[in-house]
């Protein structure tokens, strides 16, 4: 369900002290570290490159995929009546029926959570007069048996009737630490390979790694929104998890050294 991001590499090259510069801006080790977003984490590495060293700065991108093993479903019960009391009472009855049905499906208590309750007037007409009141009670369901997703949605619709709202469903990997590590490793390999290509094109070789900055952001669950009341009543609602993809982006600065001619 996700689109594989095509890896791209951007590199800027500065050959200090050689008179050759291939870049629209000068980027040194200190500048790379300060330019990183506040959320970026600096991979511990000794700064071994002299300030006047020739360097190459590259960015590497990597990705890794895995099948989701967690599904979060946001359900709502939406009711409306001429008075707030009636709208709330009707909503409470339907919401209780929804929760009872989900509990009957053997969902653990900790995987069911009331995530919001709103009561608000409905205004209509040119004078925007209050004509009714709307109540929305949201319930968040967490599933680890993804094969049960369609049944859970169908049962929710059966319990709440036309008042049911499927706000969203979101697939994710419960623990994506290893997956993100694979993406970061791929990003570092790509950055190093690009640095080697650029150094060779300039007639030089790679020296020490001066700095390595992780620019990756935390992956977000893949979400799909519905939001229309009464639309989840079709039997056997299909829910396909597809694949979850995480991406990583690193910035590396390498020292450039003169290539020693073969004797």
Residue 92 maps to which CATH number? 3.30.70.2970
The model's confidence at residue 48, banded by pLDDT at 50, 70 and 90, is: low
Is the pLDDT score of 200 beyond 60? yes
The DSSP 8-state label assigned to residue 51 in this structure reads: T
Q: What angle do CA 219, 152, 101 make, to 5 degrees?
A: 130
For position 96, what pLDDT does the model report? 95
Q: Which residue from 103, 89, 138 is spatially nearest to 117, judged by alpha carbons?
A: 138
| 113 and 28 share one domain | no
Residues spanned by the domain of 147: 70-172
Report pTM: 0.62
- Which residues are within 8 A (CB) of 223 and not within 5 positions of it... i.e. 6 or more apart? 168, 169, 170
Q: Which residue from 251, 179, 254 is spatially nearest to 215, judged by alpha carbons?
A: 251
Q: What is d(CA 90, CA 93) in angstroms, rounded to the nearest whole number?
A: 5
For position 21, what pLDDT does the model report? 30
| 183 and 168 share one domain | no
Q: What is d(CA 3, CA 176) in angstroms, rounded to the nearest whole number?
A: 18
Place of tokens 């319990």: 159
């Amino acid at each position: 369900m996700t689109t594989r991001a095509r890896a791209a590499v951007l590199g800027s090259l500065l050959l200090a002290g050689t008179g050759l510069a291939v870049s629209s801006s000068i980027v040194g080790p200190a500048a790379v570290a300060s330019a990183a977003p506040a959320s970026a984490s600096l991979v511990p590495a000794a700064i071994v490159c002299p300030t006047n060293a020739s360097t190459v700065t590259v960015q590497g991108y990597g990705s890794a995929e895995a099948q989701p093993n967690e599904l979060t479903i946001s359900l709502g019960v939406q009711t409306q009546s001429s008075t707030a009391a009636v709208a709330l009472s009707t909503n409470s009855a339907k919401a209780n029926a929804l929760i009872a049905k989900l509990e009957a499906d053997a969902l653990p208590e900790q995987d069911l959570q009331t995530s919001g309750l709103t009561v608000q007037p409905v205004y209509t007409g040119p004078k925007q007069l209050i004509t009714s009141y709307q109540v929305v009670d949201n319930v968040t369901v967490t599933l680890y048996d993804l094969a049960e997703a369609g049944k859970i949605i169908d049962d929710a619709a059966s319990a709440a009737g036309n008042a049911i709202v499927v706000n969203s469903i979101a697939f994710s990997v419960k623990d994506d630490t290893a997956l993100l590590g694979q993406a970061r490793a791929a990003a570092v390999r790509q950055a190093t390979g690009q640095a080697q290509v650029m150094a060779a094109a300039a007639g030089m070789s790679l020296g020490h790694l001066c700095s390595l900055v992780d620019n990756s952001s935390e992956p977000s669950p893949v979400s799909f929104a519905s939001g229309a009341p009464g639309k989840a009543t079709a039997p056997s609602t299909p829910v396909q998890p597809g694949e979850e993809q995480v991406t990583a982006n690193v910035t590396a600065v390498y020292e450039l050294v003169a290539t020693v001619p073969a004797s």
